[in-house]
Amino acid sequence: MTRHQDQFSQIKTFIFDIDGVLTDGGVSLLASGERFRTVFIRDTYAIEQALKAGFRVGIISAANADGLRSWLTSMNVKDIFMGGPSDQKMNAYLGYIARDGLNESEILYMGDDLPDYPILNRPAVLSTCPADAVTEVQAVCQYVSPNAGGRGAVRDVIEQVMKAQGKWGL
């Protein structure tokens, strides 16, 4: 078993950022001023499979859009912390783990930019990022997905965790 497989075998909770992780970070601006984002269907499938297998899936993001919230809710993601200032992600994270009594050594967090750095730098958390995360984030992460944000990075980590635990497959 590789080092990462051992780490993956301990995970019970996934926590993801949205922009740059579940999306490619691009935002299209509509004439109404509304922001339009695109998600990768294989990431969506992996989240659904993780939830069905009993994993917790949480979202911590400064993004706050009804479309994103509706999409997450439609997949039965219940732990959604959206809309706070990007410098408040740590507060949302600490509140989440305290509220639900989560063990940090059983958490995989994926972020891509400097607002995620304080959480990714916590020693007990399995810190992960997409291939196109900023350099400072890649430097602190224990695992860098070969896939970019919004292009399968989420699927990659979920699939690897579930395979390490014998929960992925047909």
Whichever domain contains 47, its CATH number is 3.40.50.1000
17 annotated as ligand-binding? yes
Range of lowest pLDDT (83-87, 90-94, 116-120, 131-135): 83-87
The response to whether 79 counts as a known ligand-binding position is no
pTM for this model (two decimals): 0.93
Cα angle at 125 between 6 and 160, to 5 degrees?
A: 40
Q: Is 53 part of a structural domain of the chain?
A: yes
Among 16-25, 82-91, 149-158, which range has the highest average pLDDT?
A: 149-158
Is residue 115 a part of any domain in this protein? Answer: yes
Q: How far apart are CA 81 and CA 96, in angstroms?
A: 9
The per-residue pLDDT of the chain, averaged, comes to 90
DSSP 41: H
Tell me: the pLDDT tens digits for 48-68? Answer: 999 999 999 999 998 877 788
Look at residue 46 and tell me if it is in a domain: yes
The whole-angstrom separation of Cα 25 and Cα 14 is 20
**Alpha-carbon distance 151 to 43, whole Å?**
8
DSSP state of 30: P
94 has pLDDT over 50:
yes
Task: Tell whether 19 is in a known binding site.
Answer: yes
170 in a domain, yes or no? no
| pLDDT tens digits, 139-148 | 999 999 999 9
Higher pLDDT, 31 or 153: 153
Q: Which domain holds residue 45?
A: 3-165
Domain count, the chain: 1
- For residue range 117-145, list pLDDT tens digits in order: 999 999 999 999 999 999 999 999 999 99
